[in-house]
Amino acid sequence: MAFLQGPSLKQEEVLKQELGEGPGDLERCVRDLRSMLAASPYMPDPEFVDLKLLEVFVRGCRMDMDRARTKLETYFLARSRHRDLYEYRSLNEPPLKETCKLIDVVPLPKVTDEGYRVTILRIRPGYPESAGDITNMVRAILLVSDARIHDETLIAGDVFIWEVSHIRASLAARVMAAANVVRRSIHLAQAAYPQRLKRIHVVGAPSLFASSLHLMRSCVNEKIRRRYYIHSREEELLEHIPARVLPVEWGGEEESIDALTKKWRHRVDELRDYLRNLNIINTTTAPLLDTDIYGTVGAFRKLEID
């Protein structure tokens, strides 16, 4: 059962005003995306594409239909061009079951006062070395991201929290060794997903994480780099995010990270058929035209971030 909560009625009204969304606009934009899908030989049949997914793309792109069409196209084409990153679709089966011993990927249920969705990515304490496969970590993050799109409500943007206090030197070295996978995943997040990135909080980063952080920041433009916030302790997050949104172990009022992680693993299992169908509803591979080094049509180079 979905458990993401949306904005209050007052927040929803404000968010629609900020988006410039008037009566009937969302329906019109969704029809536009369905027409684009139907007209392309490389896109899935619009009859098999979930309505909620299309609504999230429209609003996530601020009702900008050129951007929404580009992102939606990249979202589907990525599944053939980056097939290795979408290969596994369960957190309770190998190999991602092992990855869950390394990282928690937890979109939090409540939105902030601004209407932001907060997602925690926490390196788990005491993780086994065998779980430290960076490609599988990326697969798990993209899997939860796909599940979240299915359940997402009207929001104003995204806030991510990387809690990395338990990272060890061996894992930091693996991140650098997998630099190509890290770059591809960050570019996919920007080019293929309808997020409006507002802030990234990095908590508890030891000095050995500095090179990994530099790698991550090098993949985004200067505007996004300025949205990184570095914290020594979780309690400092309360200066930026309301207690009602944060988990109890970080001084908040929400359920614990472990409890929410279990809910998300269960939710991903509930959506198993939907998540696997995302990979197969488009069986035609588009030719690689105007391809950049990451294998995806120039959307990565051209993208502008809110």
Nearest to 236 by CA among 196, 258, 215, 205: 205
Distance between CA atoms of residues 82 and 79, nearest Å: 5
Nearest to 100 by CA among 139, 150, 69, 47: 139
- Classify 274 as helix, strand or coil: helix
Question: Quick one: tokens of 212?
Answer: 């990994």
Question: Quick one: tokens of 219?
Answer: 């993949």
The confidence band for 281, taking pLDDT boundaries of 50, 70 and 90, is confident
Distance between CA atoms of residues 94 and 133, nearest Å: 12
- Tracing tokens 């053939």 back to the chain, one arrives at 80
Q: Around Cβ 283, how many Cβ atoms within 10 Å?
A: 8
50 touches 151 (CB < 8 A): no
The confidence band for 286, taking pLDDT boundaries of 50, 70 and 90, is low
Q: What is the pLDDT of residue 280?
A: 85
Residue 156 dihedral angles phi and psi, to the nearest 5°: -95, -15
163 touches 204 (CB < 8 A): yes
Question: Quick one: tokens of 107?
Answer: 């979109």
The confidence band for 285, taking pLDDT boundaries of 50, 70 and 90, is low
Q: Is pLDDT at 262 greater than 80 in this prediction?
A: yes
For 86, half-sphere exposure in the C-beta direction (CA atoms, 13 angstrom radius) is 20
The beta strand positions in 27-171, using DSSP E, are: 103-111, 116-123, 157-163
CATH 3.40.50.12780 fits 101-130+154-256, yes or no: no
- Classify 184 as helix, strand or coil: helix
The confidence band for 296, taking pLDDT boundaries of 50, 70 and 90, is very low
- Tracing tokens 């796909």 back to the chain, one arrives at 146
Q: Mean per-residue pLDDT for 41-47?
A: 92
74 touches 296 (CB < 8 A): yes
Q: What is the pLDDT of residue 125?
A: 96
In the chain, where are the structural domains located?
9-84+283-302, 101-130+154-256
Question: Quick one: tokens of 49?
Answer: 């594409």
Q: Is pLDDT at 95 greater than 80 in this prediction?
A: yes
Distance between CA atoms of residues 275 and 147, nearest Å: 7
Burial (CB count within 10 angstroms: exposed 0-12, middle 13-18, buried 19+), residue 51: exposed
Q: What is the pLDDT of residue 2?
A: 84
What's the predicted TM-score (pTM) here? 0.92
What pLDDT, in 10s, does the model give residues 118-173?
999 999 999 999 999 999 999 999 999 999 999 999 999 999 999 999 999 999 99
